[in-house]
A = this chain, B = another copy of it.
Amino acid sequence: MHILIIGAAGMIGQKLATALVANENVGGHPIDRLTLADIVPPPTIAGPVSQQSLAVDLSQPGTADTLLADHPDLIFHLAAVVSGEAEADFDKGYRINLDGTRHLLEAIRRAGRQQPYCPRLVFTSSIAVFGEPLPPAIPDDQIHTPLTSYGTQKAICELLLADYSRRGFLDGVGIRLPTITVRPGKPNKAASGFFSGILREPLNGQEAILPVDDNVRHWFASPRAAIGFLLHAAEIDTGPLGQRRNLTMPGLSATVADEIAALERIAGPRATALIRRQPDETIARMVAGWPQNFDARRASELGFTADIGFDDIVRAHVEDELNGVLPF
């Protein structure tokens, strides 16, 4: 089979490509070709699968048709401008996150006019589609009232994915990812960055700032779990989804204290001593409106599986990003 990943240069895109090349198949179907596309040229992955790297701008008319020319069997659409940027640059957010996705959906529909074509499309949505007031455990039928332009754009794409699937133009699965933790790489300025930072930085022997109380609860998935979701979404029978093509992924509901306790168990008190508490009222207020827990029953029943606890998440990060080496 031929697989297309749009957004392949990102952290999740690269890990997904790595997993696909390692597996050499999806649901028992051998992978012949992997097309990696992003706004910058995605690195190809060492391994036995034939790969093509393309630097393209999905928001430009015509780009999606080029990507669809060979009728890929499976498409992962991960490309997006993140929340903060979509809020800061209104035009760019709508151009990339809404128009880009719509160009892709339309190109798939057009490709289906030449020959029978209904590819599986796995789309990464976000829990940002939900907005206050939120119940303690958010059910699968929670109304979408996004409080950011990013969340609005994701909610719109979910609606489009469902309608294009209902009409038989594609076979869509939208997955709402929890906050990915531990996010590898450099610290960033995202308001949610500290959830990863308080683990990642100490595991690098560096100080981390904690701007909120230890009892703050949030909804997490490790990068490994996220890749598991994507691969499972590519393989499942979509019949049981009915018209509801978008799913809240299962996750781990945990507190900052849970994170710190896991870090101490695995890396010891010299690691946790690197966490510096520096309360930030602005961040605390933002975080107070975020989801804390979900009852992701539909996805669980469909076989999507979450991380067990933060010990596993921390250990996976040490294995995958630090070659198993602890700083102390």
Residues of A within 8 A of B (CB): 90, 131, 141-147, 149, 152, 155-156, 159-160, 162-163, 166-167, 243-244
**In the complex, are the beta carbons of B143 and A144 less than 8 A apart?**
yes
**In the complex, are the beta carbons of A146 and B163 less than 8 A apart?**
yes
**Which residues from chain B contact A144 at a C-beta distance below 8 Å?**
143-144, 159
The 7 A-B pairs of least Cβ separation, nearest first, read A152-B163, A141-B143, A156-B156, A152-B159, A143-B143, A155-B159, A156-B159
**In the complex, are the beta carbons of A163 and B149 less than 8 A apart?**
yes
Given A152-B159, A159-B156, A162-B152, A145-B90 contact (CB < 8 Å): no
Partner of A145, one of B131, B145, B160, B162: B162
Partner of A243, one of B142, B145, B156, B163: B145
CB distance from A89 to the nearest CB of B (A): 12
**Which residues from chain B contact A160 at a C-beta distance below 8 Å?**
152, 156
Partner of A146, one of B143, B152, B156, B159: B159
User: Given A144-B144, A152-B159, 19 more contacts at CB 8 Å?
Assistant: A131-B243, A141-B143, A142-B143, A143-B143, A143-B144, A144-B159, A145-B162, A145-B243, A146-B162, A146-B163, A147-B166, A149-B163, A149-B167, A152-B160, A152-B162, A152-B163, A155-B159, A156-B156, A159-B159
